[in-house]
Amino acid sequence: MNENQAVAALSALSQETRLRMVRYLVTKGGEGAAAGEVAKAAGASSSRASFHLNALSQAGLITATRASRSIIYRVDFAAMGGLIGYLIEDCCQNDPTIVSCCAPLTKQQG
């Protein structure tokens, strides 16, 4: 993960419809979901959904694979993890005696 990739990923996530899509796909895990299903979950028209799914794909946050008439989208969990790691890199200069500031960054996950 470099700066350009991180800005691209964060730009992609900083939009209501796309954030809903990613969060929906996160819950779906490796199974993923078809474009139409994601569009419905995010409350978007098909053209809008397509536009935003393409943006997420360009940013490297999701992948697309065709399955018959549908196109299945899945979160790229390595990319998501890479982004999170980039955001909190060298937290508190990696000082192991300081826990108070870095602790909240690892606790909220579930």
* Window 39-78: contact mask with a copy of itself (x via CB under 8 A): ------------------------------------x-xx
Q: Which of 21, 52, 60, 61 binds DNA (CB under 7 A)?
A: 52
> Got the DSSP string for 2-63?
-HHHHHHHHHHHSSHHHHHHHHHHHHHGGG-EEHHHHHHHHT--HHHHHHHHHHHHHTTSEE
d(CA 86, CA 90): 9
Q: Which member of 36, 43, 46, 88 binds a copy of itself (CB under 8 A)?
A: 88
Please report where in the chains the tokens 């730009």 appear, as a residue: 11
Binding site for a copy of itself (CB under 8 A): 3, 6-7, 10-11, 13-16, 19-20, 22-23, 26-30, 75, 77-78, 80-82, 84-95, 98, 100-110
